[in-house]
Structure 1
Amino acid sequence: MLRLDRVLEYSTVSAEQRPQLQFGDAVSEDPQSTAQTLALVAQAEAVSTDTKVRRLNPDWDDARVQAEVERIHAETGAAVPDPIQASALG
């Protein structure tokens, strides 16, 4: 764009000057966007509870994630074993 401005005589800035860009250490995703994404993949049954918890809490260790997954499963009734799989094992 600087060269084009120079050629069209809109600017006297040298085309050799290049902009300096600096990015921050991290860019965090908008919480609403994360929630919508997780809701859509959960509705499609395309994501595990473990993955959802890790996505929402990337700084948690494995033990804390597992504890949260177990709490969610207990609250939603997902902790009940599948009767078809249980009969196949026994």
Structure 2
Amino acid sequence: MGLGAFPGTDKQFLGMLGMHGTYEANTAMHNSDLILGIGVRFDDRTINDLAKYCPHAKVIHMDVDPTSISKTVPVDIPIVGSAESV
């Protein structure tokens, strides 16, 4: 979830996504125009209803495992490789 990547005390921190997440985080994600997923699974607890998931967003998905890309969410730009080397 990357929760440690951004300080939870920052005023721009919106919280977790998905069914256990906050209204603010889910609204921001729903209204986004670009999703950059680095090593994420896009699991069902985050996505919920795929037909309503970020309807206006382009999705970039980077993962070291090519079979993980577009497994759950259709991806506009797939990138295979590690975050360190890409």
TM score, norm. by length of structure 2:
0.22
Structure with the larger RCO, 1 or 2 (CA within 8 Å, 6+ apart)? 2
Larger Rg: 1
More helix by share: 1
In terms of fraction of residues, the more strand-rich structure is 2
